[in-house]
Every structure is written in structure tokens, then in C-alpha cells.
């Protein structure tokens, strides 16, 4: 009984009888080398196709016909449905706002990918960006979606589900502000009797960055006071509230003269990141040069603290 398609064929080693020498020009004798060549061809084909190539279909031809039909459907929908292609039945799975998981009936792992647009209806039309695609299991493909500032997936019936692979299908909102997580603060934040070299999360300010690719940035005005002398310090956006997790997201201020207050300095940094799980980023401040009792400040009452994560799949 054939091993394939459950597992790949493993041929036995063949040898010619003692005294038989392989002659490729002799058409009347089957040599071990001839059989070994056939074995190699079988193994190469099975390796190329992979195990269980028919998938959920009755045979490989049926699966290929299904793929062809899906391609035709996609191409027709691009022309006839404002670049939206129909999805199979979809259902709510879970929520971790502003991202949500939706189950699509069938194996869509070879169709839906990160960055695709989703349109569906729950009373009104809603739009999402795909930020992760899970493994096909239990008859469904789980898709993680970011709803931006305007759209949430409710635990309710989903109708008219579509997807698109173009950047701006009809109706999809392209305003980048709608696809940005944004935190602001307008109050002065401070830490009195700050310890040299210690990071402080002034005002307990942070931003939650969802799954996906983002451009993370911040801008904050800082200063410090103390006894007359040189002053310097740093700000950072970190995954810990009392640490510096990434020097590329850190900025430093410095005043060499003898002063009791450092000049107010706006620190800004920007970096593209890929987040595998929802992650909190904290705006931290510290001083590393100063004399006497030092107080550090985030002057958000003068210039707003702004922390942003803009979706890079837009």
C-alpha cells in the first residue's frame, strides 16, 4: 500500500546482481540504476507537492480548480465591486480594542495576508486593516484586525464581509489620523528629589501599541532645577516604566553653564517597530548631571506631550 500522501515514499536501496555492470545503452535489461532513477523522480515529485496536497478537497485537481475559481472571483470583484472581494461567512472571535479577531470560514491562509483591508457590516459598514493571520484550524481562519479610531468589532452578527488587496478600495478611509494610536498630556509633571541616573515615568503616562507594524514617536518638553552648576538628563520611550529599553528611542539634554534651571528642551524620537503582542510603552525621564536637590519636569502645560503609533500598513 502506498505511503503517500500521508508520508513521503522512502525507497529501498537497490543493487545489481553480482557480475552485472550497468550499461545505459542496453535496452533489454533493467538495472538497479534505472530503478533508483525512478525512485529519485518519485521522491522529488512528492517533496515538491508536499504531504496531503489535496487538502480538504477530494483530489488535487479539485483543489486547483478551487484556487483558479478564487483567482477569477478576485479579479472579477476588482472590476465589478470597487476592488472588494467577497469573503466566506465570518464570526466575531475576541476583542482587545483597538484590535479584534474575526474567524473566517475555510482556509484563507493563502489568501488573506497582513495589510489587507476588511469591510463588513454590523448595522453600518465598518473597515479594518489585517495585522495578523492565524493558522487554519477547526474549519476557520482567525484574522486579527485593527479598527483605528472609528471602528470596533462587536460580538454580533457579521454580514457582507469583504476583503481587498489594494491600498485604497472604495469607501476605505485613508486619513492617517484614523489609523493612529495617540496619547497627549497637557499637565506639568515632575519628580522632586530625583535620584541621579534613575528613570521616572512622570505622570504615569504611556501608550498601548497593538499587534502590527507601527511608526512610534514622541515629543516632550523637559527641564530640571537644582543648585548652580551643569545640568543634563534624558528622556526615552521604553517598554518598562523605570528603564531605557531602546537607546534609539532616547534623547538627551545638556547645559554646561552654571545655572539653577536647565533650558527647556523638546525631546523627539521616531522609529518603525513590529509588535507581535500588544505592548505598553512608557515615557520616562531622568537626570544624570546636577548638584543639590534636583527636580525634573515634563513641561506638558507649555507644549503638549504627544506619543503616537501610526499604522504602517496604511
Predicted confidence (pLDDT) per residue in 127-162, tens digit: 999 999 999 999 999 999 999 999 999 999 999 999
Is residue 46 predicted with pLDDT exceeding 60?
yes
CA distance 208 to 146: 13
How many whole angstroms separate alpha carbon 7 and alpha carbon 47?
A: 10
Distance CA 285, CA 236 (A): 7
pLDDT computed for residue 76 by the predictor: 62
Under 8 Å CB-to-CB from 101, ≥6 apart: which residues? Answer: 93, 94, 95, 134, 142, 143, 144, 145
Helix (H), strand (E) at residue 227: strand 212-238
> Residue 79: is its pLDDT beyond 70?
no
Q: Which fold has domain 180-311?
A: Jelly Rolls (2.60.120)
Tell the CATH superfamily of the 81-173 domain: Efflux pump adaptor protein, beta barrel domain (2.40.30.170)
What's the pTM value of the predicted model, to 2 decimals? Answer: 0.74
Given this model, what pLDDT does residue 77 score? 58
Distance of alpha carbon 197 from alpha carbon 88, whole angstroms: 56
pLDDT tens by residue, 213-230:
999 999 999 999 987 788
Mean pLDDT along residues 23-41: 79
Residue 36 has pLDDT above 80, yes or no: no
pLDDT of residue 30 exceeding 60, the answer is: yes
Q: How far, in Å, CA of 177 to CA of 152, rounded? A: 16
Dihedral of CA 235/236/241/243: which sign?
Answer: negative
Residue 243 has pLDDT above 80, yes or no: yes
* In the chain, where the domains are located: 81-173, 180-311
What is residue 2's predicted lDDT score, i.e. its pLDDT? Answer: 72
Amino acid at each position: 500500500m502506498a505511503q503517500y500522501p500521508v508520508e513521503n515514499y522512502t525507497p529501498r536501496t537497490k543493487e545489481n546482481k553480482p557480475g552485472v555492470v550497468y550499461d545505459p545503452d542496453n535496452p533489454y535489461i533493467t538495472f538497479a540504476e534505472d530503478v533508483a532513477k525512478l525512485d529519485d523522480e518519485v521522491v522529488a515529485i512528492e517533496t515538491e507537492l508536499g504531504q496531503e496536497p489535496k487538502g480538504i478537497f477530494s483530489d488535487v485537481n479539485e483543489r486547483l480548480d478551487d484556487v483558479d475559481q478564487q483567482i477569477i472571483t478576485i479579479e472579477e470583484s476588482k472590476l465589478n465591486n470597487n476592488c472588494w472581494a467577497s469573503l466566506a461567512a465570518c464570526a466575531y472571535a475576541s476583542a482587545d480594542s483597538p484590535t479584534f479577531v474575526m474567524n473566517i470560514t475555510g482556509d484563507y491562509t493563502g489568501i488573506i495576508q497582513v495589510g489587507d483591508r476588511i469591510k463588513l457590516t454590523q448595522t453600518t459598514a465598518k473597515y479594518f486593516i489585517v495585522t495578523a493571520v492565524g493558522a487554519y484550524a477547526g474549519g476557520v481562519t482567525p484574522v486579527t484586525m485593527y479598527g483605528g479610531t472609528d471602528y470596533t468589532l462587536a460580538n454580533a452578527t457579521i454580514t457582507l464581509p469583504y476583503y481587498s488587496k489594494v491600498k485604497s478600495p472604495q469607501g476605505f478611509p485613508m486619513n492617517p489620523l484614523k489609523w493612529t494610536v495617540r496619547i497627549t498630556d497637557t499637565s506639568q509633571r515632575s519628580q522632586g528629589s530625583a535620584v541621579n541616573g534613575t528613570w521616572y515615568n512622570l505622570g504615569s503616562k504611556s501608550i498601548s501599541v497593538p499587534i502590527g507594524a507601527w511608526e512610534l514617536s514622541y515629543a516632550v518638553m523637559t527641564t530640571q532645577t537644582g543648585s548652580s552648576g551643569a545640568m543634563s538628563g534624558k528622556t526615552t520611550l521604553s517598554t518598562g516604566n523605570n528603564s531605557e529599553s531602546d537607546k534609539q528611542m532616547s534623547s538627551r539634554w545638556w547645559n554646561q553653564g552654571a545655572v539653577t534651571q536647565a533650558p527647556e528642551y523638546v525631546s523627539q524620537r521616531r522609529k518603525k517597530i513590529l509588535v507581535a503582542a500588544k505592548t505598553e510603552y512608557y515615557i520616562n525621564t531622568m537626570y544624570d548631571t546636577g548638584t543639590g536637590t534636583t527636580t525634573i519636569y515634563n513641561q506638558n502645560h507649555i507644549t503638549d506631550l504627544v506619543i503616537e503609533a501610526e499604522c504602517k500598513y496604511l
